[in-house]
């Protein structure tokens, strides 16, 4: 079965570039699962630059919310690059359309994310080709001063832990340098 790789780090730490090099290094066909919803001109320009930098033969699947379903659309022996879990959690949280969601709404969202992560991990384990999951590490900063920021940090932290613990290999990117994390015991 295919391997699951986990790539994390801060903003602009080199995560995506590193993950793209991992994907290229497999020598396999690559499916790029993109979770960004480009809501303004700056983001549309950023997405266009990222797309232009990718190898021409890669297939992009837009997957802002249904990542496990998108994973199923990639051929079994291809490499799948999921970039990124952080934006996927953002999209799910913003879909609540509430700057101060109730605990009931947050708990329901957490349960939904748990199910989707389980489906993602099950799908990744069933594949012949590797899956590379990219995400931001948001737990190393200050405690957010507003409720939505704290909810986001907590949700993403739990998602990251589950995917990282299931991963065959994991890296932390710091200032463009990759530090391989030890296996989970």
Catalogue the active-site residues.
Answer: 50
Q: Is 51 helix (H, G, I), strand (E, B) or coil?
A: helix
Handedness of CA 180, 149, 163, 165 (dihedral sign): positive
Q: Mean of the per-residue pLDDT values for the chain? A: 93
Write the pLDDT tens digit of every residue in 32-51. 999 998 888 998 888 888 88
Which residues neighbour 51 within 8 Å (Cβ) at sequence distance 6 or greater? Answer: 60
Which pTM does this prediction carry?
A: 0.94
- Class assignment of domain 4-181? alpha beta
DSSP 8-state symbol, 140 = T
CA 165, 102, 148, 133 torsion-angle sign: positive
How much is the average pLDDT of 127-134? 97
Q: What is the pLDDT of residue 1?
A: 64
| Contact (CB, 8 A) for 7 and 15 | yes
What are the pLDDT digits (tens) for 74-94? Answer: 987 999 999 999 999 999 999
């Amino acid at each position: 079965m295919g391997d699951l790789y986990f790539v994390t780090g801060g903003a602009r730490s080199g995560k995506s570039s590193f993950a793209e090099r991992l994907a290229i290094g497999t020598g396999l066909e690559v499916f790029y699962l993109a979770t960004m919803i480009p809501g303004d001109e700056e983001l549309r320009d950023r997405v266009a630059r990222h797309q232009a930098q990718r190898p021409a033969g890669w297939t992009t699947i837009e997957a802002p919310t249904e990542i496990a379903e998108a994973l199923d659309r990639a051929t079994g022996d291809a490499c799948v690059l999921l970039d990124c879990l952080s934006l996927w959690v953002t999209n799910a949280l913003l879909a609540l359309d509430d700057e101060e969601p109730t605990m009931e709404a947050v708990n329901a969202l957490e349960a939904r994310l748990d199910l989707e992560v389980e489906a993602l991990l099950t799908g990744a384990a069933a594949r012949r080709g590797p899956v590379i999951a990219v995400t931001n590490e948001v737990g190393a900063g200050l405690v957010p001063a507003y409720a939505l920021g704290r909810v986001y940090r907590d949700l993403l932290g739990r998602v990251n832990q589950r995917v990282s613990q299931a991963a065959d290999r994991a890296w932390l990117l710091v200032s463009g340098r990759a530090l391989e994390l030890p296996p989970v015991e």
